[in-house]
Amino acid sequence: MVDVGLGACWWDLVERRAAITPDRLMLADERGREVSFAGFRDQAEAVAAGLVGFGVEAGMTVSWQLPTVMESVVLMAALSRLDVVQNPIIPILRHAEVDHIVGQLGADLVVTPGVWRGFDFAAMNRDIADTHGAATLIVDHTLAGPGDLALPMGDPAVLPPPALGGGEAARWVYYSSGTTAAPKGARHSDLTAMAGSNGFVENMGLDADDVFPVPVPCTHIAGICVTTAQLRVGFRVLLIEIFDPERSPFMMAEHEATVVGSAPPFFHAYLAAQQAHGPEPLFPRLRMGLSGGAPSPPELHFEVKHQLGGAGIVSGWGLTEFPIATMASPIDSDDVIAHTAGHPSRDVLVRVVDPGGSDLPPGAEGELRIKGPQMLLGYVDAALDADAFDELGYFRTGDLGTLDEDGNVRITGRIKDIIIRNAENISATAVENVLYLHPDIADVAVVGIPDPRTGERCCAAIVLAPGAGPLTLSAIADHCRAHGLASQRIPERIDMFETLPRNAMGKLLKQDIRSEVVQRSTTETDRPRAQQQMRP
């Protein structure tokens, strides 16, 4: 199916896709609800009219915090139809972060679920909205019938003509997760948000025959990129409200998924489901896995390719400030797919610089800086902009990586995720990739904790694979040496975890892991270092 392109604004894209393939199925969710592209447009207009009756009008700011259900995507389109500034908020954020966001934006309306996953979002968001003088709209999707939406509806005849221009204006605000500091709000226009879809459509090659389950928050900036991509080429999305490692893979299989994602815990669930399913392919139409929320170890790519089929795990790289900056292609070589985040999306420029800001040659590691059509307009707090961009207008990502001769980007870590031991930098990512190769390790995070002698100690937080026996520090050291890891990079401490904390996109919460390891270590100061290795 032909890519219809980006258009003048996001609502323009909604209307053009509805006109081209009106009856084609667009969305399905876990509650058995489905909608076509024309039905989606019609629902969005009816909801827009309902919101007008609720007092919403062009120029207002609406913050909304909903799970990945039909109401979320329809609301996103309805707000676009009304030409408001919308602020999707990921569901893991709680009072402190949401209060900061709503207050900083001066939101006019806060849209919230009721009680979801045992947490009373309505009570929290009503309290926050009252504090800042905003209205509250409760959207309890759990009460909606099979053919219903838990959103206000109205007569689209009351709507003004759609504003099909103004794609350059700030209309989307996405906030970082705020795990180590106050969340930062990135301002995007329709054009910058839509440009993030280039990696999906042009690099990955998604097309009308694809079925793309979304098991992560659609309020993440990847949500608008996925929806834009499907409006461009017409594929189908399955919305996964709550990812269940045992149940969700089979639901995805029932919908004939061609793409599955998005981080190591998800892929381990797919592999376990395939093993439980038996010798026949669980995903017979699978074209590829997608990793974008968190880096996947190279070995996991080969496991997925050999056991699930398709091209393995195709990775991309981006930020809230700059979505889908790079993306690999399923037709790339295994070496590119397994070890890189692919090549830049259309019109994206990448620099690799040393600490002084000078450009480095291909293959040299440095900070990755990027410029392109999906770059944020600026932060909500404009005081942050001065440090966000360099003198050439490139965004300072804070990520470390390399750019090879063929233009492929390899992410090697974060500037702040470097362990400094005896004045030498150790990449946590490089050590994690080696540890992932150990058959007894299901998940791992490497962090640095203070050490009075060396500055920092390299510590591995480990989740054992099912059925694995005890794992010793000496066994870890032998494994690392066998895979060529330099002695100074070998972990000096291991800590056992039942699970490692991750955010909704699958990224490890390193600060939480580090805090837990530090707390454990402070209770063990009287033990010899060689014994400081395992603690469930």
* Alpha-helical segments (H) within 384-509: 385-388, 428-435, 473-482
Inter-residue contact 18 to 41 (CB < 8 Å): yes
What does the pLDDT read at residue 179? 46
Query: Would you tell me which CATH number, out of the four given (2.40.50.320, 3.40.50.2300, 3.40.50.980, 1.10.8.60), belongs to the domain 10-23+33-191?
Result: 3.40.50.980
User: Domain spanning 422-531 has what CATH number?
Assistant: 3.30.300.30
Dihedral angle sign, alpha carbons of residues 40, 45, 49, 52: positive
Residue 380 sits at the vertex; the CA angle it makes with 190 and 368, to the nearest 5 degrees, is 75
Token representation of residue 202: 């042009």
What does the pLDDT read at residue 533? 45
Beta bridge partners, 449, equal 457
Domain ranges for the chain: 10-23+33-191, 261-415, 422-531
Q: What is the pTM of this model?
A: 0.85
Q: How far apart are CA 22 and CA 229, in angstroms?
A: 16
What does the pLDDT read at residue 535? 33
What does the pLDDT read at residue 181? 62
Query: Would you tell me which CATH number, out of the four given (1.20.140.10, 3.30.450.40, 2.20.28.10, 3.40.50.12780), belongs to the domain 261-415?
Result: 3.40.50.12780
Residue 125 makes CB contacts below 8 A (sequence gap 6+) with 65, 98, 110, 112, 136
Q: Fold identical between 10-23+33-191 and 261-415? A: yes
Give mean pLDDT in consecutive 10-residue pieces for the chain, a chain of 536 residues: 85 96 97 96 98 95 98 98 96 91 98 97 97 98 91 96 89 77 90 97 97 95 97 98 96 98 89 96 98 79 97 96 97 96 97 96 96 98 96 95 96 82 80 90 91 86 90 94 87 94 78 90 57 37
